[in-house]
Amino acid sequence: MTITADRPVSLWPAAHAADARRPRSLQTKIGASDTVCARRAGYLLHGRTPTDTGEKRKAILGTFLHAGMLEAAREEYGWIIERRVEDDTIRGHIDAVQLDRHTASRLPKRLRPSLPADVTTVEDIKTKSTFQWDSIRRYGASDAEIRQALLYADLLRTEGFADIDGQRQLARIGPLPVGRIRFRFINRDSGDDHVQEMPFNAERARGARWWVQQVRAAETPEDLPRTFPGPGLSAVCDKCSFKTACWGPTVVGRRPQSILIHDDAERGKALAEYVELSEQIKPLKDRMKVLRAELDGSEPGAYGENVLSWSGGNPTKVDDADAMVALFKRAGLPVPMAPDVAVMKAQLKAADIPVPTRLDHDRRTSVGINVTLHKKP
């Protein structure tokens, strides 16, 4: 079949349509993957209609990468991937389960892993951008990500795999002795990965269950707290499909968080806290300035657990009046005796001609210090 068009056909409409048909996009009851924010979980549980769509290309790319990694784990290692777990209050699909040898022996040989674990491990794969990467390597999974994985693991420990078509044999082995949670972070831009493991903690799992109970007990989503600080301050809120429902419509000249202050008493309380925090932060900022000055001129490289690099310090771009005059002459346009840069720029832009610039080596951009975690070989 031949498709002819003025430009190559975009695959993004197909990708968006496929993403919309995914089960996770259609579920209305609370799932383990919906436990990022309490109020968002409430909107989903109460069947509210999303108020925001937004750009989803990065998320879709992450989904494709995520699916490919899981399929590779299934084909090469025999791990159990994308299987449902559920009870009366919550459900979810576990990314991967790496069974220990003893538990795997209870399954038919064709379902046993070629690479078993020393203890049954629940793995959650997360894709991240380079912008988030240093934070991931330093601090690991967020509280919300840990809560999600704990719920998966706890459902597997108490219920086992759900008894549904496609996983009956897995369901027959009953509850599993999950001993470990593993996060595998994949950098969407570079392909780097970072693995974080932790033992299953029954007390923290009970805390995750309690979190779900509070969401289910709320009469309305608005009775639930906002887990994150809001649009402009949190990427989670910026991309949330209930952003407008939660924070109201955008008001020109006002930040969304301004709705949190209702009267002068609250305004005075917030201002007092702002002053208090400013006083606490000032000594830290002063110390950072001293350390920044001490490091000035240091060669980029790894020092202990951190990597030092520099950005900026480049010549700045300035309008090239001589090049503009040459352009005007070639175009047969009159050149002012004293070239008026602003007028010439306006005329060039109106004609859709790039405004020429040059590098001014006497004026340079400010030099910024960059510190990232040292990746040990």
Looking at residue 347, what is its pLDDT? Answer: 80
List Cα–Cα distances, 153 to 42, 158, 161, 338, in angstroms: 22, 9, 11, 75
CB contact burial 180-190 (16+ within 10 A = b; e otherwise): bbbbbbbbbee
Q: What is the model's pTM? A: 0.73
Q: Is the pLDDT of residue 210 over 80?
A: yes
What average pLDDT does the structure give for the chain? 86
Residue 194's CB is within 10 A of a number of other CB atoms, namely 17
Most confident among 20-24, 37-41, 364-368 (mean pLDDT): 37-41
Please, what is the Cα angle at 284 between 283 and 290, to 5 degrees?
Answer: 90
**DSSP line for 293-350:** HHHTTPPSEEETTEEEEEE--PEEEEE-HHHHHHHHHHTT----SS--HHHHHHHHHH
pLDDT tens-digit map of 276-299: 999 999 999 999 999 999 999 899
Q: Is the pLDDT of residue 25 over 50?
A: no
Q: At what angle do helices 321-330 and 341-350 cross, to 10 degrees?
A: 50
pLDDT tens-digit map of 255-274: 999 999 999 999 999 989 98
Cα Rg of the chain, angstroms: 28
List Cα–Cα distances, 10 to 63, 215, 289, in angstroms: 18, 40, 49
Q: Report which residue type is found at 277.
A: L
List Cα–Cα distances, 161 to 75, 93, 345, in angstroms: 20, 10, 67
- What the block records as the tokens of 131 is 């912008």
Looking at residue 294, what is its pLDDT? Answer: 93
Q: Report which residue type is found at 240.
A: C
Which residue blocks in 105-249 are alpha helix, DSSP H?
Answer: 130-139, 143-158, 168-172, 202-217, 235-238, 243-247
* Bigger pLDDT: 62 vs 102: 102
Residue 360's SS3 state is strand
pLDDT tens-digit map of 104-144: 999 999 989 999 999 999 999 998 988 889 899 999 999 99
Residue 95: left (phi > 0), alpha (psi -120 to 50), or beta? alpha
Question: Distance between CA 24 and CA 6 in Å, rounded?
Answer: 35
pLDDT tens-digit map of 169-187: 999 999 999 999 999 999 9
Please, what is the Cα angle at 91 between 86 and 95, to 5 degrees?
Answer: 100
Pairing of strands 91-98, 120-128: antiparallel
Cβ(139)–Cβ(80) below 8 Å: no
Tell me the sheet residues that pair with 195.
Answer: 184
